[in-house]
Structure 1
């Protein structure tokens, strides 16, 4: 079985599992789909999963890999599982929730925007986008388009998706989980930057000097 087929299978299964956790947390299909905003979030989740099947994302260690950074993968997995269930569950029991339907719709909007921002760079990078911190064969530095001013737009998209998901359930706990995601995310960013600096030297240093890591004008 080719890795692309494995990743496609994983994308479908993980997406369905994520939605199942949320539906379970909120109390079932009727409770979940009684909110138009959550219907939109569910559809957006499925669309993103299908779109990911047309990318060239991989798990190749390429020519060089920082294996010490692999710990972030299970960390993301644990936080992801908690995020799938807890925001919906706290919404159901009305624990540390805020706002009303307006907050839910804001969350749905952020979820869609974050999804687009997450996937766009994946299509731009093609085979160079790996789930591992690695330099791929023929790797070149991309500093134009969506990467002109922001070095990690896909990671920013991940954070926006997380905030959108939390707000769709009006969940303070969900926002805390988004904040916790920053720990492995920043560790991965620093690992990637060290590898790219070693690979591209002054070219990467010059790019860093004129761009932002994650949030324009802030970080």
Structure 2
């Protein structure tokens, strides 16, 4: 219970701290919340964080971890911090802004939808979902539902929500930052699949043969 409470506090406090980045980028609380799209973006961010608190996702190294893949977390951390501040700052100063207020709302919708897609697999996997590339105690494969079509629905949600976030600020630089997240994400996927193949052998190989990584018919 104590560790769950600590994780909840860490998640909510971290989300509030992250929201401070675009607020700073936009020059303060009042300017940031002057547009309804940014208000809803902030509300969606906090709502997703509150829902995440009730999941069993963790950062446990479990029974076996690929520690060599931890560099990906550092890469996501740096790019995530930049994506938190730079697109909002670009929006404020009008640097390389993609045209149209409609794009803001498309971005908000993508962020919220991608965030839901990111979280649903966390609830499906429960304690098997870790922020590290690791095999958890009692680890079993899930091959039905979302996982019956794509093997990494949470990562697809991550990409969609990341793109939605920067589009909510109409930031061309933000789109580039999102694209820069793809190489470490692919590295993460390959590390996870290698780990699962070593753990489950032919069972995982057969599952991998009939599914797509993230986008059916594409990847």
TM-score by length of 2: 0.97
Equivalent position SS for 2:181: helix
Give me the whole-angstrom Cα distance separating, in 1, the residues matched to 2:178 and 2:16. Answer: 21
The answer for the alignment partner of 1:199 in structure 2 is 199
Give me the whole-angstrom Cα distance separating, in 2, the residues matched to 1:104 and 1:142. Answer: 36
Uncovered stretches (5+) of structure 1, i.e. residues with no partner: none
- Mapping of residues 39-58 of structure 1, within 5 Å: 39-58=39-58
Equivalent position SS for 1:150: coil
Give me the whole-angstrom Cα distance separating, in 1, the residues matched to 2:126 and 2:24. Answer: 35
- Is residue 79 of structure 2 the alignment partner of residue 91 of structure 1? no
Equivalent position SS for 2:10: helix
The answer for the alignment partner of 2:208 in structure 1 is 208
What RMSD over aligned residues (CA atoms) do the two structures have, in Å?
1.1
TM-score by length of 1: 0.97
1:71 positional shift: 1.0
1:183 positional shift: 1.7
After superposing on structure 2, the runs of 4+ consecutive aligned residues of structure 1 that deviate more than 6 Å are: none
The answer for the alignment partner of 1:136 in structure 2 is 136
Equivalent position SS for 1:13: helix
Give me the whole-angstrom Cα distance separating, in 1, the residues matched to 2:196 and 2:4. Answer: 25
Equivalent position SS for 1:194: helix
| CA deviation vs aligned residue, 1:14-73 (integer Å, no higher than 9, x gap) | 211111110110121222112111111110000011011100111111111111111111
Cα gap change, 1:2 to 1:65, in 2 (>3 Å): farther
Q: What is the number of equivalent residue pairs in this alignment?
A: 219
